[in-house]
C-alpha cells in the first residue's frame, strides 16, 4: 500500500474484501452479481481538445453490492481475473456498452476495457464480433483499451490477436501509458490508434516547474510521429485543460468534463451537447 492516507485506506479495504476469509465469499458474490444483474456500466466523456465536444465515452464497470454498496472495480476486477470470471464479466460489459452506444449519435465512440486475460483468449474476436452484430454499431465506433499487461502473454499469439482485432475494424488504445515498464518496443509491435496518458502524469502538470508537462510533451511527440492519438486521463481542473491542449494531446478525459455516469444521464448529456 502507498504511504498516503488514500493508499492506506485502500490497503485495508482491499484486505477486507480480498483477505483469505472473505475471498471465497467475494467470488461467490461476483457470480451472483452477474446472474442477478447487480452490475451496470457507467460512462465517462472523452472530449476533443480541438472541437471541445464529446467524441466518445469510456465504459467503466460498476457493482452495486446488496450489502457492501458500491464496490470499486479496482477491488473486484483483480479477483475476477484470478477466479476466471473476468471473461463472462468482460463479455457482459462489451455487449452492454455496445448496446447502449447504439442509442447515441453515430459519431460518438465507446471505449471498453479489456483484461489481459480476455486478450489471451482466442475467442475474443468472436465475442467482439457478436457484440458489434447484436448492437449494430460500426466497428470503428468501438475502441478496446488494453494495458501493457497483454505483452506478458506469449508473443506470437498476442501479435495474432492484434491482427485479428484490427481486422475487425475496431480501434485499439494503450491504457495507463507510463505506469508499468512501458517499453517503447510495445508501441512498435502493436497497431494502437491511441495512447492514454496515465493520470499520474496529469497531476501537478499545470504547476510551474513540474516535470510532468515535459513527460506529457514527450509522449505526445512520440504518439504524433507514430500517427497515434493521445488522451490525457484524470484531468480535474480547468487550468489543466489549456495546458493539455497546448502540449498537443488530442483528447481529454476527467472529472473536469464529467464523472462516470449512468446510461440515462449520458443520453441527457448528449442531447444537451447537441443543442449547443
Give the residues lining the site for ligand C2E (CB under 6 A).
44, 60-61, 72-74, 77, 90, 93, 113, 115, 175-176, 199, 234-236, 254-255, 260
The minimum distance between CB 275 and ligand C2E, in angstroms, equals: 25
Q: Which does 231 bind (CB under 5 to 8 A by kind): ligand C2E, Ca ion, none?
A: none
Instruction: Scan for cell 485495508, then name that residue.
Output: 12
Pick the closer one to Ca ion by CB: 175 or 240.
175
Pick the closer one to ligand C2E by CB: 33 or 60.
60
Q: How far apart are CA 125 and CA 91, in angstroms?
A: 11
Instruction: Scan for cell 465517462, then name that residue.
Output: 44
DSSP element (H, E) containing 232? strand 229-232
DSSP element (H, E) containing 202? helix 199-202
CA distances from 115 to 103, 151, 159, 163, 258 (A): 26, 12, 16, 17, 24
The minimum distance between CB 157 and ligand C2E, in angstroms, equals: 19
Instruction: Scan for cell 443520453, then name that residue.
Output: 267
Pick the closer one to ligand C2E by CB: 236 or 274.
236
Contact criterion met (CB below 8 Å) for 162 and 174: no
Pick the closer one to ligand C2E by CB: 69 or 275.
69
Cα of first residue to Cα of last residue in the chain, in angstroms, is 45
Q: Which does 44 bind (CB under 5 to 8 A by kind): ligand C2E, Ca ion, none?
A: ligand C2E
Pick the closer one to ligand C2E by CB: 74 or 123.
74
The minimum distance between CB 210 and Ca ion, in angstroms, equals: 20
Return the C-alpha cell found at 187. Answer: 508501441
Contact criterion met (CB below 8 Å) for 129 and 99: no
Q: Which does 274 bind (CB under 5 to 8 A by kind): ligand C2E, Ca ion, none?
A: none
The minimum distance between CB 34 and ligand C2E, in angstroms, equals: 12
Cα dihedral angle (139, 45, 180, 6), rounded to 10 degrees?
A: -150
The minimum distance between CB 234 and Ca ion, in angstroms, equals: 8
DSSP element (H, E) containing 157? helix 155-168
Pick the closer one to Ca ion by CB: 117 or 208.
117
* Binding stretches for Ca ion (CB under 5 A): 113, 145, 175-176
Q: Which does 56 bind (CB under 5 to 8 A by kind): Ca ion, ligand C2E, none?
A: none
The minimum distance between CB 89 and ligand C2E, in angstroms, equals: 7
The closest residue (CB) to ligand C2E is 254
Amino acid at each position: 500500500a502507498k504511504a498516503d492516507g488514500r493508499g492506506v485506506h485502500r490497503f485495508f479495504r482491499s484486505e477486507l474484501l480480498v483477505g483469505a476469509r472473505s475471498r471465497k465469499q467475494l467470488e461467490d458474490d461476483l457470480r451472483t452479481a452477474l446472474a442477478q444483474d447487480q452490475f451496470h456500466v457507467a460512462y465517462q466523456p472523452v472530449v476533443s481538445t480541438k472541437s471541445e465536444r464529446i467524441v466518445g465515452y469510456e465504459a467503466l464497470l460498476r457493482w452495486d453490492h446488496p450489502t457492501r454498496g458500491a464496490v470499486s472495480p479496482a477491488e473486484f476486477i483483480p479477483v475476477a481475473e484470478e477466479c476466471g470470471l473476468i471473461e463472462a464479466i468482460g463479455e457482459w460489459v462489451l455487449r452492454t456498452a455496445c448496446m447502449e452506444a447504439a442509442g447515441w449519435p453515430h459519431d460518438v465512440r465507446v471505449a471498453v476495457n479489456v483484461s489481459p486475460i480476455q486478450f489471451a483468449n482466442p475467442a475474443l474476436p468472436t465475442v467482439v464480433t457478436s457484440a458489434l452484430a447484436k448492437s449494430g454499431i460500426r466497428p470503428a465506433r468501438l475502441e478496446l483499451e488494453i494495458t501493457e499487461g497483454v505483452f506478458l502473454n506469449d508473443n506470437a499469439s498476442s501479435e495474432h490477436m492484434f491482427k485479428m482485432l484490427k481486422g475487425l475494424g475496431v480501434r485499439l488504445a494503450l491504457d495507463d501509458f507510463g505506469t508499468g515498464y512501458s517499453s517503447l518496443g510495445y508501441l512498435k509491435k502493436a497497431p494502437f490508434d491511441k495512447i492514454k496518458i496515465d493520470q499520474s502524469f496529469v497531476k501537478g502538470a499545470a504547476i510551474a516547474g513540474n516535470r510532468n508537462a515535459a513527460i506529457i510533451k514527450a509522449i505526445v511527440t512520440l504518439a504524433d510521429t507514430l500517427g497515434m492519438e493521445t488522451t490525457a486521463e484524470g484531468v480535474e481542473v480547468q487550468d489543466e485543460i489549456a495546458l493539455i491542449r497546448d502540449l498537443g494531446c488530442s483528447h481529454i478525459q476527467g472529472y473536469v468534463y464529467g464523472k462516470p455516469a449512468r446510461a440515462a444521464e449520458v443520453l441527457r448529456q448528449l442531447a444537451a451537447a447537441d443543442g449547443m
